[in-house]
Amino acid sequence: MRIIALRTLREFWTTHSDAEAALRAWYADAKQADWKSPQEIMAVYANARTLGNNRVVFNIRGNTYRLIVAINYAVEIVYIRFVGTHAEYDRVDAETI
């Protein structure tokens, strides 16, 4: 998958250094993935949650942080839409962010 944008993840882990290893691991996995459907993601990430509008929420670092991505399966692009704490996650609409 092509991931847009690593910069968002980098900016987050500069202020939340405990998330860096987990976000780098997720990025490496996603970059090598060939996801064609939400079911394929769930087969690897059982704790991920699929939402409407092709959004997927991943739990990062033992559910300390949340990562929301939008996926265009047809062209194999993952768009980073949000990464943050649970408190920050609670203030966004995961299906439209």
Strands 55-60 and 65-72, by their bridges, are: antiparallel
Q: Let me know: does 67 contact 79? Beta carbons within 8 Å.
A: no
Angle at 19 between CA 35 and CA 73, to 5 degrees: 15
Domain boundary assignment for the chain:
2-89
- Please list the alpha-helical segments (H only) found in 56-96: 86-89
- Are the beta carbons of 65 and 83 closer than 8 angstroms? yes
pLDDT value, residue 62: 87
Instruction: Enter the pTM of the model.
Output: 0.94
What is the architecture of the domain spanning 2-89? Answer: 2-Layer Sandwich (3.30)
The string of pLDDT tens digits covering residues 26-80 is 999 999 999 999 999 999 999 999 999 999 999 999 889 999 999 999 999 999 9
